Chain A
Amino acid sequence: MKNKLSLLALALTLSIGAAHAATPFEKMMYSSFEAKGQAGLDRLDQDAAQKFCSNQANLTGGGDAKLREKIQNDNMATIKQPSDGKYIGDWKSGEKIAQSGRGATWSDKAGSENGGSCYNCHQINIKEVSYGNIGPSLWNYGKLRGYSKEVVQYTWNRINNAKAYNVCSNMPRFGHFKLLNEKQMQDVMALLLDPESPVNK
């Protein structure tokens, strides 16, 4: 009898659904949104980094330092190096990717190519006057830092997963969430690190 009751209780819990419908906040979130286009309700599910950085205190550098480091290390471990060993693609294509802010919204066609939205937050080529300032200026990126293996690898990693270095970085994880494909990331790399790119003139 007891077994039957606990089974019933379990069934009820499962049918209410979702391990997430627990707190009043989670109930509010999951009942206030609906899936549309490619933007499913699963986009409300948080990974460890998102959970950590939803706490205002952690955003400004507070919180559990060990947890911060662990999440960064876990993100670092997911980064894949380019399959063809090439880090630098075509800066002209990279500029187009940096300009485009399209992709991944419920009104974008699923499967269509995303942009990098880079100019939304960064100054890159100073010829572009319409740039945001959420991220630092990337003008003369390679010229200032050099073109060493370390700089190249660091830049690749940062584009792939900025949270490997700073868990609450505002920069999207372009490789981690497949927002950009490998070739696109190589092209953005070229915009920043090809000595021929106008960014390094």
Chain B
Amino acid sequence: MKARILYGVIIGLFAVLQGCSSPAKNEASTAAPPTGGAPTDEIEKYRAMIADGNPADLYEAAGEDIWKKPMGPKNVSLEKCDLGMGPGVVKGAYTQLPKYFKDTNKVQDLESRLVTCMEKLQGYNSQEIIKAGFEKGKRKDVEAVVAYVVAESKGMKINTVAKHPKEKEMYDLGKKSFFYQGGPMDFSCASCHSENGKRIRLQDLPNITEQKGAALGWGYWPAYRVSSGNFWTMQRRLNDCYRQQRFPEPIYISDDTIAVSLYMAINAKGGTMNAPGLKR
């Protein structure tokens, strides 16, 4: 009930904002993804309603500025950062991540790759970024750049593959981790995300072991999160999954988080990248 009132308030707020900023774009609200259960229809309606007023826009704009601005001990921008399609190529770069990078000899997701660039190009200390919490210190900059880079792949097809031996190895490790039960509740990712049509309370759970469900999971994150009022990267989403699994905390951009991301992305291949999305 409380949540519904909150949605009401926020819908109202965005209706006002939209009226001011983009009065001509209201017909774009038909692009809502299909939904399963009736109780979640309300969320879909709400999502469609503010589809062209996603607050993630603000993070995207900030991220583009950060990408282009000379910063750090070496006072250079990130414009030479190679996200896998050559230095500086942002358009479509997110559709093929995570992937193997020769210079680091590692499979990297977007966030770990950005941290590499901030260290190698700009001279920042990567450990400081890894140790900072979400929305803190330079991590905050990483999050904004994530919004910018991801948005540059919006509407494109997910095309992450396991070609390099290290990608194949990482996919298998990610799959194993997905099914790994632990903690006082015996949960694994699969406890909630390996069957069709399942819900926790009213929240639909995508079946990530199948292409359709994986595309729903991978394709709509990172996202602006209405319930917490901020932008969540995939690393942050995974962090909260593990918290609810009652696991210890995953270290930011650790191998396990990248392996599970690769497992999801490859399963989602062929789906559409809709992120930055808008989530409950």
| Chain A, Cβ-Cβ closest to B243 | A105
Contact with B along A30-68 (1 / 0, CB 8 A): 011111100111011110011001111001000000000
Is chain B's binding surface mostly helix, strand, loop or mixed?
A: mixed
- Residue in A32, A50, A119, A130 whose CB lies within 8 Å of B251: A32
Do the beta carbons of B200 and A44 come within 8 Å of each other?
no
- Asked if A33 meets B179 with Cβ closer than 8 Å, knowing A28-B259, A104-B185, A179-B185, the reply is no
- Asked if A33 meets B184 with Cβ closer than 8 Å, knowing A25-B173, A132-B199, A132-B200, the reply is no
Within 8 A of B (CB), among A81-138: 104-107, 119-121, 129-134
Residue B176, interface by CB 8 Å: yes
Interface 9-mer from A10-18, A145-153, A169-177? A169-177
Do the beta carbons of A29 and B180 come within 8 Å of each other?
yes
* Interface residues on chain B, size class: 35 or more
Residue with the greatest number of chain A CB neighbours at <10 A, chosen from B179, B198, B201: B201
Do the beta carbons of A59 and B200 come within 8 Å of each other?
no
CB proximity of B167 to chain A, nearest CB, Å: 15
Residue B177, interface by CB 8 Å: yes
Do the beta carbons of A32 and B255 come within 8 Å of each other?
yes
Contact with A along B171-207 (1 / 0, CB 8 A): 0010011011111111110111010011111110000
Do the beta carbons of B199 and A33 come within 8 Å of each other?
no
Measured between beta carbons, the chain A residues less than 8 angstroms from B180 are 29, 46, 54
Q: How many A-B pairs with Cβ below 8 Å? A: 124
Contact with A along B224-264 (1 / 0, CB 8 A): 00000000000000000011101111110011110100000
- Asked if A50 meets B186 with Cβ closer than 8 Å, knowing A28-B173, A59-B194, A106-B248, the reply is yes
Do the beta carbons of A49 and B248 come within 8 Å of each other?
no
- Residue in A40, A46, A107, A131 whose CB lies within 8 Å of B248: A40
Measured between beta carbons, the chain B residues less than 8 angstroms from A40 are 248
Measured between beta carbons, the chain B residues less than 8 angstroms from A179 are 184-185
Number of residues in A with C-beta < 8 Å to the partner?
43
Measured between beta carbons, the chain A residues less than 8 angstroms from B257 are 32
Measured between beta carbons, the chain A residues less than 8 angstroms from B72 are none
Do the beta carbons of A107 and B243 come within 8 Å of each other?
yes
Whole-angstrom distance between the alpha carbons of A121 and B191 in the complex? 11
Given A28-B256, A33-B254, 11 more contacts at CB 8 Å?
Answer: A25-B173, A25-B176, A31-B251, A36-B249, A45-B182, A50-B186, A53-B181, A104-B185, A130-B39, A132-B199, A173-B186
Interface positions of B (Cβ within 8 A of A): 39, 169, 173, 176-177, 179-188, 190-192, 194, 197-203, 242-244, 246-251, 254-257, 259
Interface positions of A (Cβ within 8 A of B): 24-25, 28-29, 31-36, 39-41, 43-46, 49-50, 53-56, 59, 104-107, 119-121, 129-134, 163, 170, 172-173, 177, 179
A-B CB contact pairs (8 Å), 25 listed: A24-B169, A25-B176, A28-B173, A29-B256, A31-B251, A32-B257, A33-B242, A33-B247, A34-B249, A36-B248, A39-B183, A39-B243, A43-B247, A44-B182, A46-B181, A50-B181, A53-B186, A53-B188, A54-B179, A104-B185, A129-B39, A130-B201, A130-B202, A172-B186, A173-B186
